[in-house]
Amino acid sequence: MTIGAVNGAFSKEQSGDDDTTALAKAPTIEEAKDVKFEPYERPDPTLPDPPKGKVKRFKVDVYEHVTQVASHLAPTEVWSFAVNGVEHRGTGVSQPMVVTEGDKVEIELRNGGDERMQVRMPHSIDLHAAEVNPGEAFATIAPGETHRFSFDADHPGVFMYHCATEPVLHHTGAGMVGAIIVKPKDLAPVDRELWMVQQEYYIGKPGEPADMRKMQAKQPDVIAFNGYADQYAEHPIEVKRGERIRMYVMNAGPSIWSAFHVIGTVFDRTVVEGTVGRHVQTINLAPSQGGWVEFTLAEEGTYPFVTHAFGDMVKGAKGVLVTEHPPKGAAH
Ligand SMILES: [Cu+2]
């Protein structure tokens, strides 16, 4: 066998198909004239409270929708999870679930509860915080079906949830990812808690499903926090100088690492995958990993947060925290 043949066989095996044409450039908004899509709506990055009641119940529904994930690019079809009625139409993010260590959690998954959800295919939900038989709990259900299971959230952390229906790369790359945050029982209160999900988007033709070949090549068009490129740079998150801030960060991937960093501060304390850090500049999150970072902003100002993998940041993974009285003329 020649070297060329070996390389050929290897790349064929890796890509899973014979298509060697170049990946399509993401279509621009100008190229999407006739495509209807949802207007942008900024997801509130304030961490939601756990549901009331002793047992924490989550009604999760699936919806397939057309939205932009970056203002300059064409809208794309995104598959998302609604959590207890909260939908994020106008972006590509799904609402986080929040519980406390030791809680009993009940999940009711509906795969497209009504016509508005536009669900046309089977889906499922896999929660990394759950210790269950995955073949039963994370079962795939047909459109219109409902599936229930429960688990005890015994491990604190920031865990991923996602659709596990095959091809799982396509379902997760099309949007079906999120975070379930299990707060430790003894977690000290802080002044402000925020959630941030880093996620990739692989845009196909305008308004159509995501591009599987780009997913296989790990070449996202957009990498965003909470479902829309650069949204918290355009619409910053207001905080206060000197207050203690805790950000829960999930890298939902599906395939790119995150190097989460806030410019102009040092994390006093971090908890990532059970490991406590002190004096941390950047947390390192593999796809599916999460954790929280705690810090205070020492001066009035505008503080960008990014993935410090800058080739990824320029695809939209940056935002801004702004204090109440930033100095005039101090651009971020
Ligand atoms: Cu799915």
Please name which of 237, 197, 167, 166 lies closest in space to residue 94, comparing C-alpha atoms: 197
pLDDT digits (tens, 9 = 90+) for 291-332: 999 999 999 999 999 999 999 999 999 999 999 999 986 554
Classified as helix, coil or strand, 151 is: strand
Whether 50 and 101 have beta carbons less than 8 Å apart is answered as no
Cα of 172 vs centre of ligand 1, distance in Å, is: 7
Eight-state DSSP code of residue 38: B
Q: State in Å: Cα 211 to ligand 1 middle.
A: 15
**Structural tokens at position 252:** 């939902």
- Distance from C-alpha of 221 to C-alpha of 234, rounded to nearest angstrom: 19
Determine the distance separating the centroid of ligand 1 and the alpha carbon of 241, expressed in angstroms.
Answer: 41
**Intrachain domains 3-13+38-183 and 192-322 with the same fold:** yes
123 CA → ligand 1 middle, Å: 4
Give the distance (Å) from ligand 1 centre to CA of residue 178: 12
> Low-confidence residues of the chain, pLDDT below 50?
1-16, 332
* Closest C-alpha to 219, from 283, 173, 163: 173
**Ligand 1 centre from 325 Cα, in Å?**
44
Q: Which two tokens stand for residue 73?
A: 């690019």
The Å distance, Cα 163 to ligand 1 centre, comes to 5
- How far is ligand 1, taken at its centre, from the CA of residue 102, in Å? 28
Tell me phi and psi for residue 176, to 5 degrees: -85, 65
Contact status, residue 316 vs residue 224, Cβ threshold 8 Å: yes
User: Which architecture, in CATH terms, is 192-322?
Assistant: Sandwich (2.60)
Q: Distance between CA 283 and CA 291 in Å, rounded?
A: 8
CA 228 to ligand 1 centroid distance, Å: 20
Residues 231 and 233: their CA atoms lie apart, in Å, by: 5
Distance from Cα 176 to the centre of ligand 1, integer Å:
6
CA of 317 to the centre of ligand 1 (A): 24
- 62 vs 113: CA distance, rounded Å: 8
Q: What is the structure's pLDDT at 12? A: 42
Q: How close is the Cα of 267 to the center of ligand 1, in Å?
A: 35
Continuous H helices in the chain: 3-15, 134-137, 168-173, 212-216, 231-234, 310-313
Whole-number Å distance, alpha carbon 151 to ligand 1 midpoint, is 21
CATH class of 3-13+38-183: mainly beta
**Element containing residue 274 per DSSP (H, E):** none
CB 164 within 8 A of CB 170: no
- Put simply, whether the predicted model's pTM sits higher than 0.85 gets the answer yes
How remote is the CA of residue 24 from the centroid of ligand 1, in Å? 24
* Nearest to 82, CA basis, from 53, 54, 114: 114
Q: E strands within 264-325?
A: 267-272, 275-280, 282-285, 290-295, 302-307, 318-322
Question: Ligand 1 centre and the CA of 165: distance in Å?
Answer: 5
106 CA → ligand 1 middle, Å? 20
Distance between Cα 275 and ligand 1 center (Å): 31
Distance 63 CA to ligand 1 centre (A): 10
Q: Which H helix or E strand runs over 118?
A: none
Residue 212: other Cβ atoms inside 10 A: 17
* CA of 166 relative to ligand 1 center, distance in Å: 8
Give domain limits for the chain: 3-13+38-183, 192-322
Q: Distance, CA 200 to ligand 1 centroid (Å)?
A: 16
Distance 5 CA to ligand 1 centre (A): 37
Gap between the Cα atoms of 75 and 69, Å rounded: 7
81-112 tens-digit pLDDT: 999 999 999 999 999 999 999 999 999 999 99
